Chain A
Amino acid sequence: MTSVTATPAQAETGAIRATLPHVAPFLSILAIAMILPFVSNDYWALIGTRAAIYWVLVSGLNLVVGFAGHLAIGYVALLTLGAYTTSVLVAGNVMPPVPVFVALPIAGCVGAVFGVIVGLPALRLRTFYFAMSTLGFATIVTQIALAWQSVTGGGIGISGPEFPAPFNTPWGFYALCIAIAAFTTWLSANVARSRFGRALIAVRDAEVAAEATGISKPRMLIAIFLLAGALAAIAGGLFASLQTYITPDAFTFDLSVLFFIAILIGGRGSILGPMLGTIILTILPEIAAPLAAWSTFLYAVLLLLIVLVMPGGIAALLDFRNRRPLASNRAIVPRPAALADIVRRSAGGKALALRGITLSFGNVRAIDALDLDVMPGQIHGLIGPNGSGKTTTLNVISGYYAAKAGTMTLGEDALPPGMPALRATRGIARTFQTPRVIGEASVLQNVMIGGSVEGRATFVEALLALPRNAQDERMLAAKARALLGVVGLESLADVRADRLQHSELRFIEIARALMLDPDFLLLDEPAAGLSSDEIERLAGLIKAISARGTGVLLVEHHADLIFDICHQVTVLNLGRTLAAGTPAEIRVHKEVVSAYLGG
């Protein structure tokens, strides 16, 4: 499931051939599901229905856990909510009864709302806190179901909704659930392979870089929580119907554990893996009946083993493509000339100006009244000893730090302090001192992340695979491939990024930044760790980028590189400008030579 993106350059048949290996496993599972009624009995109808219902929930939850990386361990609460909402609406305890096919979407809406409420802490905090908030929600939903007797029937329970013919037989209901499960698989796959799915993984594995590319974490997560909540609640409605009668006891925490562990066994960032995980975990206690009481214990043991032994899950086992060895003597040969083939989006022409920027950490003044002008089409070097405020300056420009005083302007417009996610739309892109790349995604996907703000399709369009989303995908993939050619990595496009060498990651970051066609490119020590050949090629690449009208702000320790390619150089010391001027002036500047360059 690493790359499902079809390439536009290839013909239609090529696209089919590229997607077939990814779709085939799902089609085989669907085929098995369709054969099942003809080869087995009602008992298996029940198990198959259950697996399908669980998968409806897990397909949504997978986007939260597997893609966004938020450990939602209490999703049984949303199943409970959906089950009770549907049952109560159909039974008419509170208001006039409604048909089940109306009640189910209503339950979905309720689930979506609560999915967001439970997910809210994830916007600020990750991991344990979020896990706890879902766990807490799971605890109170059960308590409410028990105590709110007038509506939920308390401990006595309430009848589940009954579906009209032809869905009122075991196999009829089975067919309905399989159909819904197939539909939700399609939905979640659409999200997963759209720019939204990539953005989720980017926020998970490289949050800082994701912000710099303009991905808005809150908006992404809220969309996902809405979807996952709705699917969970719809699964709940189906579950209530399958159970025919529900009490709070039916929704034990063990179910939550099953959902959660199915995803982890399946593997992060995969859809096939969690699907297999769900099927296996549903069937496992059935074929080993004496183990039924110990099933949760077994799930927990499985979880521990997966975490300790095989963190990639089933998906990593099935990922044969990334086990092929890479050539060991590969060299990065950028082709800066190819930049000309890529259409330039914006005219640029604006200058980036910093005036009196001041920022202190505690009592340390990291930057002290700094003035800096970066002109379009120029390479501006920023050098100075360690701790002189070079990277901090970049962080202020890209919004990770809000300056205490001073102003930043881009052309005529003020650049608001803070708010890193707004920089990409202003045409400012950057790389990082330590490359921030998504290890589990392919090189191509990593580069495509850089163009996230250029996509025009909305989340709903991506969800339903409408044409505009396909256009976005084609455009982003084509541009990313072209840029990989520019930086000289096109042969590695489909390789997992964590298999690459350090120097290659640096060039991926540059390609990612170029996806924006930035007016300004901030490079933070791009030559660190590169060989002298690679530095030479990097120099050519940077020159070509600036020749297209992009202003480059280059933080670097390699004095040769700076003096070779920069038009302007600013030397910082202790957060202040020590000297500024052309490379020739700086090279002979007395204080610079004594403080930094050395005589």
Chain B
Amino acid sequence: MVWGAWICLLSPLVAACLITLGGRRLSRRAAGYVATTACFVAFGGAVASFVGLLGRDASQREVVSTAWTWITGGSYQSGLSILIDPLSVFMMLIVAGVGSLIVWYSVGYMDGDPEERRYFAYMALFVFSMLLLVQGGNLLLLLAGWGMVGLSSYLLIGFWHERPSAIAAAKKAFVMNAIGDASMALALFLLIQKANSLDFGILGGQYSSTVANLVALGLLGGAVAKSAQIPLHTWLPDAMEGPTPVSALIHAATMVTAGVYLIVRTHAIFEQAPKVADLAAGLGALTLLVAGLIALVQVDIKRVIAYSTMSQIGYMFLGAGIGSYPNAMFHLMTHAFFKALLFMAAGIVIHALVNEQDIRKMGGLRQLAPRTYWGFLIGSLALVGIFPFAGFFSKDSILAAAMDRGTYGYILWAAGLIGTFLTGLYTFRLLFIVFWGEPSAFVREHFHPLGRDTVAVALAVPVGVLAVLSIVGGWIQFSPWWHPVETWLQTVAEPVVSPESWQEWLSIGLSLLLGLSGIAVAWLFYGARRLAVPRLAFAQRTLEHKFYFDEAYDALFYAPAVFLANFFRRGVEQPLIADSGRDLGDDTRDLGGLVARAQTGLLRTYALAIASSVAVLAIVFVVLK
């Protein structure tokens, strides 16, 4: 079982190294298969760990395997260790499983791209980094994995580096993640100072409320940045510049959920800082509403799905913030399934329409790409949370748990319910616009279906698998009746809230109702075109500008920074440093010129100089003697 975990961690790293070192010797397709195989091997390792843990007693399900002592500094010590416990195995299965499917899908999607090898090396690196993050045995390794997934994300967003928009998006993502990394690092510093260790066990120790709040705040900062919650969310829509499989894997299924994982893993400190936990839940609720609203007006197919991701992670933050950890993780799992499915189906659509992503040019693809349509439909239904699809089982239990948190919880509950309505609305808006109706002129002209070659297989099979999972994946847990997921994760993160039965049923009913009404409204506007979309100019503008967050950040941070930089360049660097160098040369030359005037060329002047010097020196010697 320990071996399984190590294999799981290291096999993508080996693949990344092989692809990098192989270079041109490896064909492009072969690089893809190397990466895919490594990810499937990792999944096998994860399954082995899972089975191993299953065989153990519930109380003995925490195994730490240390490779060697990595850092020693004074009395502080950190080992290169991985942790195998229910939570980490849970994440390993998701990351390796969904990751393998997406990497396989990329073999088809990226076929023909001249830099395919670099892509698969980066993807393998990413899978390794994410596994390091979830398997890290102490906070230091978690931070290492955290940083590396940020790096992989940067590399993959900016993969098509000839595009300036991609480069800008990559930089934006990295800078915002760096803010989160910094706050996390500060939290870790504080922990080292107080507890002299970064093992996960110390989080349960007793800390003063200031320390606990600060640490939790720092960790929350990192989580907010990585998971693209308000206020550090503006990078996620821009990150859609990367290839679609990247969006599926990194910005839907795995990396952006790392924030949720972090909160659940470090829940002990969040329980000691209840205000910060409430803040987390509040940010989640805010994000899910804001993202849902913005998604209503987006016209890029990937951006709608990106805002949907942001919104769903808001749900997870809500769940983790209020203390319903197993439900948050369960929603993470189902979300990975259907969100990856949605992105991959969208990817097929984009590929089929010569890389066009504007939904206004699409329409009527239902007839032309029926299987893609089914996949997309299944994903959308799962997303909205309609019985019996996956999202139904996971989302509602979070809402129910919120009811157990007093008045604040009810506010969150209401926000979550409104979010459900919005989810139904924007998801099916997208589906109806893209797939229903008559094929648009653009579609008629450019659509070309997939063939039957390996590329098509690579594209179709993972979508099919995820579609199946989106249907059955949620059947693992139905909160009122059976909850194995909760039991599984209980040893690691005991939920703080336990809703009553009536609360569960009420949430389920209301959520279902609101979701269906959202679908109905979307059908009215976009499906059957019975009603015209209302023109609310102000709201439209605000939503289109994403609530002016980008503009605000530009004015608050970017413009002053540029101003300061220019000021220092003009006021300090140019005159003091650059000019001084030049002035030094000029002044020396002028001084030399002055001195050179003594070189008159006249013999008598020189002789006079010598004679006068002799006279003066003689006086000096006489006086000194």
Bound pair (A, B) = no
Name B residues whose Cβ lies closer than 8 Å to a Cβ of A. Answer: none
